[in-house]
Amino acid sequence: MRRFILLLLAMALLIVVGDQVIGRIVERVYHNTSLGEVGRLNRIADSVHTDILVMGASRALHHYVPTIITDTTGLTCYNCGLEGESVLTHYALLRNVTQRYMPRLILYDVAYYFDIEGGTHTRRAGKIKRMSSLQCRDSILADIDRWERLRTLSRIYPYNSVLFESLLARHGSGYDVPDADNGYVPLHGHFDDSHFVWNNEIINGDTDPVKLRYLESLIARYHDRLVVFSSPRYGATEATDTLYDPARQLCQRYGVPFVMARCDTAFTHHLELWDDDGHLNDDGARLYTRKYVIPAVKQFVER
């Protein structure tokens, strides 16, 4: 029995040591990756240092053109948009950035599906658990899932779904297109709406208290340097603008400008401006940036 217990202890020690050693190696590879989504996250967290940051999901990524903002206002800008990520990830990433420096202005594109709508399907914590330098990481993870803090005691666990992603990312990704502009990724397609069915973004009509809590945390923490936008959506109408009332009300509470461009007919019925029903192409993004983003930035600077 004594030999058996000693054997179990030796195996446990071997597992712990192996986890720590392998985890450190994988972590180093991950944080030294410069291409793909991993490289983008590393760059935003570790080195981006501009006057203006654009945050939000894919509509942020594809709708805000930094060169136009800089050429018009004289303020440097970087687009930090991330495909398919909710306010939880953006809040954590912004907290990571502001441990280094505080941008003069933050432009946040709020998306109903990712930032408001109920359900856990967009409450992913994968990217947050890999933000090893984020001082509030553990508290955010525990808030999202009480078991995450325990799981992250393992050094391998945060990277178990991306063990090969860092190596594959060396070949680039959709973020690394040749005409990318300070984080902005232009789209060049032209939408065919022959099979388009508009659902007004209604999935289940419920709101997610966790998402809204982090949206409020983002708005409250950065209220004096924040503008929130709802950028255009093909076919959108005013009938369902109420879906964005939770974001609008939070902005009103903290004195944050809220720019509603979602159903502007200058965009919503012009196929030539769209790559698909949710994303403007480059022509549409440039028009949107000039029509809505530039005035909001100028108003902020002049106040």
Question: Residue 233's pLDDT is what?
Answer: 92
pLDDT at residue 197, as a whole number? 66
CB 128 within 8 A of CB 94: no
Residue 121: which pLDDT band, with cuts at 50, 70 and 90?
low
pLDDT for position 140? 86
Host domain of residue 185: 2-302
Q: What is the pLDDT of residues 219-249, one digit of tens each?
A: 999 999 999 999 999 988 887 788 899 999 9
List Cβ neighbours of 245 (8 Å cut-off, separation of 6 or more): none
The answer to whether 211 and 218 have CB atoms below 8 angstroms apart is no
What's the pLDDT band for 43 if we cut at 50, 70, 90?
very high
What's 56's DSSP letter? E
Reply yes or no on whether the pLDDT at 10 is more than 90.
Answer: no
Q: pLDDT: is 232 or 6 the higher one?
A: 232
Please state the domain count of the chain. 1
pLDDT (0 to 100) of residue 143: 83
Region of 124 (left: φ > 0; alpha: ψ -120 to 50; beta: rest) is beta
Closest by Cα among 120, 278, 73, 63 to 191? 278
The larger pLDDT score, comparing residue 249 to residue 192, is at 249
The CATH number that applies at residue 161 is 3.40.50.1110
- Across all residues in the chain, what is the average pLDDT? 86
Q: What is the mean pLDDT of residues 287-292?
A: 97
